[in-house]
Chains A and B, each alone.
Chain A
Amino acid sequence: MTAETGLAALWLAAALAALQVFLATLVLRRSVAGGATAVRAVAIVQGALAAAAMVALIAVFLASDMSVALVAANSHSMKPWLYKFAGAWGNHEGSMLLWVTILGLAGAAVARFEQRLAERTLVATLAAQAAIALGFYAFLLFASNPFARLQPAPADGAGLNPLLQDPGLAFHPPTLYAGYVGLSVAFSFAVGTLVTRDVGPAFARAMRPWVLGAWVFLTLGITAGSYWAYYELGWGGWWFWDPVENASLMPWLAATALLHSVTVLATRDGLRAWTVMLAVVAFSMSMIGTFLVRSGILTSVHAFAVDPTRGTFILALLVLYIGGALALFGARVGTVRQGKLFEPFSREGSLVANNLLLTVILGIVLIGTFYPIVAGAFGTQLSVGPPFFDKAAGPIALILVAVMAAGPLMRWRRDDAGEVLGRLFAPIGAALFAGAGAFVLGGPIGVLPLAGIALAAGLAVASVAPLTKRNLARAPLHLWGMVIAHLGVAVALAGMAASTAWTQEALLAVGVGDPARVAGFTVRLEGVRPVVGQNWTALEGRLSVTRGDAAPYVLRPQVRYFTQPVTTTNESAIATHVDGQFYAVLGALGDDGRWQLRLWWKPFVTLIWAGGALIAIGGALSLVGHQYRLFRQGRRRAEGDA
């Protein structure tokens, strides 16, 4: 029954989305009295119905209702409840439903709370949002029904990929989706303003909280995903330039650019066309990224061979939405009045440089991700990996960091190069000092890591500079947000550079009781014993680790064997020190009775994720700061009226 209720809710939501598009078109053609109110109401109910469908899906997963095909294929009655819960979106159909649910809820939130935008623009925005939702409802209902029944029902399910059985990962997809779909609102705003030719600061201010919120979620999602790959895959790396990772990085890069250009539009009324363009691109990247990964063109082995209709369907939707928005952009943007102009050497100028550099990096990642398909078209099978991305994107990212250090210290509209250089005295000094220190003390570490360390130090000093000579208690919250986010970039960059430069690795075969040494650590394998979990068994190594004269501690890396489905995973064991992490992976037992052991010392690697968290916190503070200011302005106005 629950499954049928969910399906019914999904059909109703789809019907309401169609109604929303129709009503909104009517309102835009000729003013209908109360039309906008009706469109808002429909949007809210549509969001609620989509959420009801998602709740129904979660309910059948929690109840382990094996007569629902999706549950049978992706869950198992023996699984811990958290993974039954997360299993609802740990598959193609469920994740698509989660996607439209967030899309519908975001549309409902715009309908309920947005008060600043001109009514016609809001109606056009809600129409765009409903049009996107409609396509994905159709996709769910006709090509990926999550509620399809299985006749006869199997005795039990097939299980969830054990790599995904991790508490962190249960909340990874919803986080990323919230980010992707937040960008859909920016996209709809852009389409809405193009339709009503109403590009200006009001549109930018309405869009900004959505971009900020989406960007915070994307940052959190990418940071968490990176840490998950680091400890769960057991390869010791934190970024692999894998298509799935690139799919989340591309929208983030576009959103970062958008975040900065929307500020120029909101405060200085500049960069009008460019901001609209970026809003379209950011969500386009979300769609292209997610669905190319989902479709399996790039990574997965089977998805397409099994069901080519799905891929065609998605491609048609992409052409419709992205192509439609870009065509609208091409046709309408000429009528957008030019915004305010500014001198190249100014805060705006630095933000333009930031945007251009981010766009170049985005282009590099996009080309690198798609190149294997293009090469495949000419009969060459290849994969593009870290050597390309590091070399191509690394130097540009470092230039971007330099711009990032200088930008916030420049004045709006126009600034003097000599004065800016004066303000940059301390950051440049810090960069030279850190660079020289790393060069002298750190040994030969390569140009990029060295530049990374120097620039991280410079950026750290520069990013807190806007707070100096200010009364800290009175500094606006969004300024704190920027300072913390930029500081986060410096922290993350320091972690990346230091761990790249000074990681030490050892692959050993050790007998029980033999000591092994790596990077000042002494490791002794004390024994290997079997352990049992709820749905896995494992061999667990007991490692006694001593660093210098400190007291020894125990690490327990595992090789886990899951039964449903049969899979082996390496559970790394990680000890966090103040200055880095010690990382141990247990391998196979050799013929000679010795165990393979992979050990890493990764100095300052934790800074990468700490930096990511700081960036997200900065974004959140900025969001709260902007909203709080609006709230106060609104209240002051209300008091003035009274």
Chain B
Amino acid sequence: MTNRRWLMWLPLCAFGVVVAVVAWGLWRPADRTVRSAMVGKPLPDFTLAPIAPGKPGLSSADFRRGQPRLLNVFASWCVPCIAEAPQLMTLKAAGVPIDAIAIKDTPQDIGNFLHRNGDPYARIGSDVHSRVQLALGSSGVPETFVVDGRGIIVAQHVGDIRADDVPGILRALADAK
């Protein structure tokens, strides 16, 4: 029995391992963004009807014209989308072409939203049932995808674009050329 005394310390050792794992899980910088599996793949094929007055709708073919573009997934009912609007205007001023998909929205609400927060978009497609959003692997609004000139998704930004995210997005666009 005595030679198996050390066995009695095994539970404590096992618990030590659990604590180490948990402590690591506790103090690591949490990254809980839901990344799309679509990064590095071509955009899914879609054609979306126009929603904003006087602005064309959006189709996947619009992203295969040789120039990298931003694809912004947003909605008029989404508060962080208001927060990121100035950054989108900055990007537009820097000469970045931006297209958008509006999720579960109406022409009137979109009109009001653009009037109030500025209009950085070249085209806006209406995705009432989030079908294209799901196909893109986007888990919420706002999300922004960098698409190169051949229709391949090269980067994804989850959540609103903050001022300090802008240089990174410009770099991703430059790399996509």
Contacts and interface: CB of A to CB of B under 8 A. Distances in A.
B28 interface: yes
B26 A308 contact: yes
A284 interface: yes
Nearest to B1: A338
Contact of A330 (B1, B9, B25, B30): B9
Given A301-B32, A370-B18, A326 B12 contact: yes
Interface string B21-32: 111111110101
A370 B19 CA distance: 11
B11 A329 contact: yes
A304 B25 CA distance: 10
Contacts of A301: 32
B174 interface: no
A374 interface: yes
Contact of B22 (A305, A323, A373): A373
A78 B128 CA distance: 32
Contact-size category for A: 35 or more
B94 interface: no
B18 A376 contact: no
B18 A323 contact: no
Interface in A343-379: 366, 370, 373-374, 376-377
Interface string A376-392: 11000100000000000
Interface string A293-334: 001010001001100100110010011001100110110011
A586 B21 CA distance: 42
A311 B26 contact: yes
Given A277-B11, A329-B11, A329-B12, A304 B19 contact: no
A311 B30 CA distance: 13
A305 B33 CA distance: 13
A281 interface: yes
B171 interface: no
A164 interface: no
A315 B5 contact: no
Contacts of B16: 323
B8 interface: yes
Interface string B69-103: 00000000000000000000000000000000000
Contact of B21 (A326, A327, A330, A373): A373
Contacts of A319: 19
B23 A329 contact: no
Nearest to B4: A334
Contacts of B5: 334
A315 B30 contact: no
Contacts of A292: 22
B16 to A, nearest CB: 8
Nearest to B6: A330
Nearest to B30: A305
A327 B26 contact: no
Given A315-B19, A334-B5, A338-B1, A377 B12 contact: no
> Top 8 A-B pairs ranked by shortest CB distance?
A326-B12, A330-B9, A373-B25, A297-B25, A330-B8, A311-B26, A333-B8, A326-B11
Interface of A: 273, 277, 280-281, 284, 288, 292, 295, 297, 301, 304-305, 308, 311-312, 315, 318-319, 322-323, 326-327, 329-330, 333-334, 338, 366, 370, 373-374, 376-377, 381, 588, 591
Given A297-B26, A377-B24, 12 more contacts: A273-B8, A281-B11, A292-B22, A315-B22, A323-B16, A329-B12, A334-B2, A334-B5, A373-B22, A373-B25, A377-B28, A381-B35
Interface of B: 1-2, 5, 8-9, 11-12, 15-16, 18-19, 21-28, 30, 32, 35, 129
